[in-house]
Structure 1
Amino acid sequence: MATRETKRTVLITGGSAGIGLGLAARYLAAGHRVTVTGRDPHKLAAAREQLPGLETFAGDIADPAAREALATHAAKAMPRLDVVVSNAGIQRRVSIAEDTAPWFQVQNEIDILLAAPVHLSRLLIPQLLEHGRPSVYVNVTSGGAFNPQPFAPLYSAAKAALHSYTVNLRHALRATGCRVVELIPPAVATRLAGPGPNHGADPQEFCDTVFPLLNGEHAVVGFGPTAQSDFTARLTAEHNAFEAASQRFGVPLYAPGAGPTAH
């Protein structure tokens, strides 16, 4: 992890509460410049009060125009951006058989969990490559990506898709100085699903444990059930299968300091 002598510029989406805010606090404590995003200006103001020095940017990550505005802001206000934590999330806890919500609510969940992180990677990674310094791009998935959760089926499916995309993103950036990290939380006792009962790991213990591992030296970072040997063995087997299959067809990869190039 970068020290106070190597100050990082960090952007965390969904950073006004929960895991995002917890990681923001640790980056700030380590001497880095941190900006968090969120939809609610009041929650962002409360986060600034809680963490002096924290910078914020308000916008709905589900909206493509808001994502483009965030990228424009990052290019102007954070030209030395070198750490991105794509963390914003939502979880609708409703079974498939009982899900009668209007489609716009379903689409909003898909947009926040999958469209947003994919779009942001397309917008922000060229900025990380342009300055030529080592950088880290973190996608936050979930244990539910690997063990589908009947109480949150669309959340599980979107996180599974993001896991797959993250594997390919890491492959696309393998020749550059940008390291791709997948952070895989188990259940963590945040308010991800909104008001009401929550369960899972203590957020502070989770953030204390995973923060030192988000330095780009670990492709995958888990905690508790997602760090146990049976789970990591499953990931290793998947990685080996991917490496073998990825050699079958040559595809363009990112080049250092540039856009995609043939490999």
Structure 2
Amino acid sequence: MEEQLLERLNAAALALKIQKPFDGRTTLATNKQGKKWKRRDPDALQGMVWHQELGWGSIEAVARYHTGPDSHLHAGGVESIAYTFAIRKNGQVVLCNDLDRAPWSQGYAGRKGDENAEFLSVMFEGFFQGTGVDDPSAGHPNDRQLLSGLVLWRICQDLWKWKAGDLYGHFLFGKPACPGDTLQTVVEAVRFNAPKKRKRKFTTVRQRQQGLKDCGFYKWKVDGLWGPGSRAALIAFQKECGLAADGLWGPNTEAALLGKLEE
């Protein structure tokens, strides 16, 4: 699946004229004696969490710190950088770990331990302004990073069929300053402003004919005239759904048609 992800990221990079993705799994610092990450089923991934680098200077520097003897993650270091992906300041998406590794996990909303280990963690290179950050050197992610982050999210969302609410910021896991104000705003925009499907209505004859036509029951022109053909189509639909085949339009028929169209 890693190769499929990189291929789609590469295609998106070419189309949008942004930096091509990079496979950093063999180039970033590792520690064979470090604590091993929990293994997971990549097909069962539940969402994505955005982080910021917090001033280490580069992805490579973070990897050296995480795997080194002074790592706060574990005495003696961990086996690899604690993120699945990272996004450089030039917008390049870097694959940092195999998808079957759970390199970052933390309790969330009352959950403890590594119960949220089934998330892809993404680190944005840079030191960004956020809640509790009182440092004039802190800035914001640039447009290239934001575009690449959203491209990565959209590709993963499509692959795993995630909902808009499956994108998180580290701030939702008790880290107010991470991933910073700008990324937090983007996360919240994705989570809470997802386009909503308009519920179809069947208040007119045309709408009812079109609904029956879309389900394959009405074979004639949608003309807004309720005649024998329309009634026959409705009865056939009612029989198919196990409803009373009386040719009358009621709430049960409408609910069944809505359900059929949303399948």
Q: TM-score, normalized by length of structure 2? A: 0.30
Structure label with greater radius of gyration: 2
Q: TM-score, normalized by length of structure 1? A: 0.30
Which structure shows the higher strand fraction? 1
